[in-house]
Amino acid sequence: MSASASQDGFVVFDKVQKSYDGETLVVKDLNLSVGKGEFLTMLGPSGSGKTTCLMMLAGFETATNGEIMLDGKPINSVPPHKRGIGMVFQNYALFPHMTVGENLSFPLEVRGMGKSDRERKIKRALDMVQMGGFISRRPAQLSGGQQQRIALARALVFEPELVLMDEPLGALDKQLREHMQFEITRLAHDLGITTVYVTHDQTEALTMSDNVAVFDDGRIQQLDPPDVLYEEPKNSFVAQFIGENNTLDGVVKEIKGEECVIQLDSGDLIDAKPVNVEKVGERTRVSIRPERVEANKDRLKEGAHTIKAEVKEFIYMGDVFRTRLKVAGNENFIMKTRNAPDQVRHKPGDMIEIGWLPKDCRALDHS
């Protein structure tokens, strides 16, 4: 399922495996290629191996098998201080005995930068994280979120070629978080910085990244740009993990090219696109985004299968309506419709018919 690594990326993981105890692999045969200037996000559940991958890339852990290349060279051949990597880790360790200003000055001093250049860059980095007034404080005199912002400024202040960030915005409130998301991507693109970013937050991953690698159990389940990941999940795990998703279980009845017919466990027939199924008789779980469900027959393809649904709940959300339906035994089937003048507001107890375009209903693995 993982993408094959091309050897010409700026960062390349080639068949990388990692075991801490010599028995279990926490990273399993990982292939990944990150182009120069690309913003790649690793997204996945807790314990799926994201931090381990960053630690190997930073050189704090070694791969048990396989090779990691940075700019065409094996990472181990480059001493850490020459790698030009900026880092923000999950436990944002600032130097406790130094002030904020000194923390930021440090990476510039080791690179031999003069005082006036340092001051200019430090000011810019602090302004970016909205911490300009805190230059003389020590880390112990800052809140967790403020420390996190200083760690971020320190990672970016020397304009590294590669930045690794592990949940760098976890301690921030929503507004500051959104501001920082914008600032980080803007800076990364302006300076051509290659970024490997780790987050649990799928909205953050979708909005910030050029490509997202979805991790599960030490493997990349799918690596694609945000729109492809959301609209064309390759398996049930990715479909469930990214965005809201309705699922129905059944058996493949018929496959004809890009379309198939699924007989649901309730007996109903529906139209779908065969994605992760190969033959008639196979069990499948189909996946449909709430915004692709249609109650308006005019919007469906002629001859499309429709299915009966019982309205359980109607939730008015302003810009959209969320209607919870019972469909083929699933009582948590969500339909999301835009609030338009001609849009029907269904009531609990209404019996309606719904459908979708076959391409929006993906027949995936039944795992």
The CB-nearest residue to Mg ion is: 51
Among 31, 33, 41, 51, binds Mg ion (CB under 5 A): 51
Please provide residue 123's backbone torsions phi and psi, each rounded to the nearest 5 degrees.
-60, -45
51 belongs to the binding site for ligand ATP (CB under 6 A): yes
Strands 320-327 and 330-338: antiparallel
Q: Of 28, 50, 121, 234, which lies in the binding site for ligand ATP, with binding defined by CB under 6 A?
A: 50
Q: How many residues bind Mg ion, per CB under 5 A?
A: 1
| Residue 60 touches ligand ATP, criterion: CB under 6 A | no
Considering only the stretches 49-57, 75-83, 112-120, 334-342, report the one whose residues sit in contact with ligand ATP under the rule CB under 6 A: 49-57
- 284 sits near ligand ATP (criterion: CB under 6 A): no
Name which of ligand ATP, Mg ion, none residue 46 binds, using a CB cut-off of 5 to 8 Å depending on partner kind: ligand ATP
CB of 236 to ligand ATP, least distance (A): 20
The rounded distance, in Å, linking the Cα atoms of 221 and 235 is 8
Range in contact with Mg ion (rule: CB under 5 A) among 37-45, 51-59, 217-225, 258-266:
51-59
Number of H helices, E strands in the chain: 8, 19
Among 46, 91, 143, 175, binds ligand ATP (CB under 6 A): 46
Q: Is 202 in the site for ligand ATP (CB under 6 A)?
A: no
Give yes or no for a contact between 229 and 73, defined as CB atoms under 8 angstroms apart: no
Q: Is the dihedral of CA 179, 180, 185, 188 positive or negative?
A: positive
End-to-end CA distance of the chain: 15
> Which CB, 48 or 222, lies closer to ligand ATP?
48
Residue 61, phi then psi, degrees to nearest 5? -130, 150
Ordered DSSP codes for 155-175: HHTT--SEEEEESTTTTS-HH
DSSP three-state, residue 177: helix
Q: What is the dihedral of CA 214, 215, 219, 221, to 10 degrees?
A: -30
Q: SS3 of 335, please?
A: strand
- Candidates 33, 52, 105, 337; binder of ligand ATP (CB under 6 A) is 52
* Residue 245 found at the interface with Mg ion (CB under 5 A): no
Count the residues of the shown chain that bind ligand ATP, applying the rule CB under 6 A. 11
Among 56, 60, 89, residue whose Cα is nearest residue 167: 89
Residue 26 near ligand ATP by CB under 6 A: yes
| 222 near ligand ATP (CB under 6 A) | no
The window from 41-49, 74-82, 255-263, 357-365 that contacts ligand ATP (CB under 6 A) reads 41-49
Binding site for Mg ion (CB under 5 A): 51
Binding site for ligand ATP (CB under 6 A): 20, 26, 44, 46-52, 200
